[in-house]
Every structure is written in C-alpha cells, then in structure tokens.
Amino acid sequence: MNKKNRKTNGTGADSPLLRIRGLTKQYKSGGYGGMGAQSLYALKDIDLDLYPGEVLSIIGESGSGKTTLARCILQREKIQSGRIDSIWGTIQRGAPEQHSRQIQGNPLGPDTTISSRDLYRKIQLVPQATQNSLNPWRRVDQLLDPILRRTSGRGNSMQTARDNIQTAKEELMELCGLSPAFLKRYPGELSGGQRQRVLIARALAMEARLIIFDEPVSSLDVSIQARLLNTLLELKEEYGLSYVFITHDLDIAEYISDRMAIIHNSRILESGPVEEIVQHPREEFTRTLLEAGLKKQNWLDSFIS
C-alpha cells in the first residue's frame, strides 16, 4: 500500500512516552486445586518503546498475545516480571525476584505506580467489540456528557458550562467524521464504523494522550476502513496523540504506522521502523505476513485517497 504523503513520522522525540522492559505474563492451565497446573506464556520478555506523536503497530495472529499486551498496559492484567513505565509514572512492575535481568527504575517520570483512575484519563482503549463498549440505553450525547462536564465545564457558570459542553460535543462529532445529528442516536442505531468513531470521540473527550486500538477496522468494509484510518491520522496530527495499533493485517499497519513490532508465540520477533521491516524482514513469519498483504494491496489501494 502506498502511504506516502498520508502520514508523517512521530515527533522525533528522544525520550519515549511509554517503555516496556522484560514484560512476562503467564496463565495457569490444568491441574486440580492448584496442584499440577502448568504455566502458559501469554507474553515473554517483551521490550517495546512508544514515542510521543507516534503510531506503533503490534502485528500478529490471533492468540499471539497482542490483546494481552494491551490489557497489561491498561492495568487490566497483572504481569509476573518486567515493568511498564510512562511519563506519568510506573504502570506496572513485576516481582523483583522474577526478573531475568536487572531492570532499573522509571527513567521517564515518577517511579511511583500511577493509579487506575489517573491512567484511565491518560490512556484510552478503542476495542474491537464496539457493541459491548457503549451503554445501549444511553444516547451518544448522554455518553459524552459526564466526561465533558469534567473538562469543558470546569470553572464556568452553569449556563456557560452547558453551552461549552454542547459545542464540544458537536465539535467532537465533526472531528470524528460524524454529523452532530448522531448525538441523538442510540448505539444500536449506529453501524460498526460509526460506533468506532463515537469511541474515538469519547477518548478525545477524556483528553487522553495515548489511544490503544484493538483491531479497530477488521470488521469494517474496506472503503470504511480507509476513511477511518485517514481520520485517525488527521486527529493524531491535530492533537499530538500517540497510538498503539493492534492488528493482524500488516498492510494496514504499514499504512498507518511509524514503527511496528511483529509478535508470534508470545514473543516479539522483530521491531523497528516500518520501511525497514517491510523492505528487509528478518523473520520467515514476517515474510509470510507481507506476502498475505500483497494479495489484497491493489484492492485496498483503490479506496485510499
């Protein structure tokens, strides 16, 4: 896919926004009453950096550990070893005795663990299953109201706050490619692509700095995929956002990403700038993904403008 002139690189910052070192996540399987259970690796010794203003794609098959990695970043899964640090504080650290190598304190910011509440304001998730992520009994404007009361309504009179919130809701809809008329709709009245855009609007309303997208376009028609990807790139540039983009599709990852990491069997096989991996893949698994992407490249290119 030709992505020239459709995206820019990250900010070129020297210091990462997010750093993962030695991350290992295991699950117990089998056994009885805690006896005889086997440890299965969901993630093993993961090292990754995400820089400000950058899109980092995590590419792999189903069951490779992609979504588990996102859940660890969001503090929804506890890690056994390693650590996840950010400019806002430490997100997680494993038990010191489980570390396979020496890992220093947080080099990016405070070496104290950030609370789940504060993390929620900084990092938002746009999941694949959008139908389960929005309250079906509340209109879109009602979903955004409580968030915008904390952001757009601060320090103003009640009427000014209401006006600011309404204006903010309409602007969010337009930024995400939806008419303000969608504010009066319920999630069940929206298509999959429209629900994705509402979730993006919610993340922007939270004033998140990092958004994790878990297979955000896999269930969408190819023409809708192209429009949504372009919207994401425009929002990233306008708001200085950073993205972690989880996908099984290397061709889509190539289009939107600055850097990518290939994950297979719970490990990172290779990572680096998009052009480097696409033009000079080191691993056979990466070459297989590239060949699969070439089969659909011309079809998807026809929708990108």
Per-position DSSP letters for 82-150, written without gaps between them:
EEEEETTEEEEE--GGG-SS---S-SSS-SSBPPHHHHHHHEEEE-S-GGGTS-TTS-HHHHHHHHHHH
The CATH homologous superfamily of the domain defined by 18-30+38-92+113-131+209-302: P-loop containing nucleotide triphosphate hydrolases (3.40.50.300)
- 199: tokens are 């979730």
Strand pairing report for 81-86 and 18-29:
antiparallel
- Whether residue 47 contacts residue 63, with contact meaning beta carbons closer than 8 Å, is answered with no
- Whether residue 236 contacts residue 53, with contact meaning beta carbons closer than 8 Å, is answered with yes
pLDDT at 2: 47
pLDDT, one tens digit per residue, over 159-184 is 555 677 888 899 899 988 899 999 99
pLDDT, one tens digit per residue, over 22-69 is 999 988 776 666 666 677 889 999 999 999 999 999 998 888 899 999
- 230: tokens are 């372009």
- Whether residue 111 contacts residue 124, with contact meaning beta carbons closer than 8 Å, is answered with no
For residue 7, pLDDT over 50 is answered with: no
- Higher per-residue pLDDT: 268 or 177: 268
Question: Hey, which residues does 123 pair with through a beta bridge?
Answer: 210
**Neighbouring residues of 138: CB distance < 8 A, sequence distance ≥ 6:** 186, 187
Q: What is the pTM of this model?
A: 0.85
Q: Which helix (H) or strand (E) holds 47?
A: strand 38-50
DSSP, collapsed to helix, strand or coil, labels residue 4 as coil
pLDDT, one tens digit per residue, over 92-112 is 998 765 555 556 778 888 889
**Neighbouring residues of 43: CB distance < 8 A, sequence distance ≥ 6:** 23, 24, 25, 65, 68, 69, 72, 79, 266, 267
Mean pLDDT throughout 143-150? 82
